[in-house]
Amino acid sequence: MPTYEYECLDCKKNFSVILSISEHEKTKVSCPKCKGKKVKQSISTFTTKTSRKS
Ligand SMILES: [Zn+2]
């Protein structure tokens, strides 16, 4: 399941939400801290913690 990164525009909290694609399309994400709806999705990094072979 992809992890979506969000940033709250009100309290500047960064948080991530794990949603399926269909959930992501219909779910209104709100900030877990201030419950604000003004959240901005940042680049979804998925699991880019794997080291890249070059
Ligand atoms: Zn917030």
Q: Quick check: 6 and 34 in contact, CB under 8 A?
A: no
Q: Ligand 1 centre from 35 Cα, in Å?
A: 6
pLDDT single digits (tens) 36-53: 999 999 875 555 555 566
Q: Quick check: 4 and 45 in contact, CB under 8 A?
A: no
Would you call 16 helix, strand, or coil by DSSP?
Answer: strand
pLDDT for res 12: 96
Is residue 1 very low, low, confident or very high in pLDDT (cuts 50, 70, 90)?
confident
Q: Ligand 1 centre from 53 Cα, in Å?
A: 37
pLDDT for res 42: 86
Residue 47 is classified by DSSP as S
Is residue 8 very low, low, confident or very high in pLDDT (cuts 50, 70, 90)?
very high
Q: Ligand 1 centre from 23 Cα, in Å?
A: 21
Q: Ligand 1 centre from 42 Cα, in Å?
A: 14
pLDDT single digits (tens) 15-30: 999 999 899 889 899 9
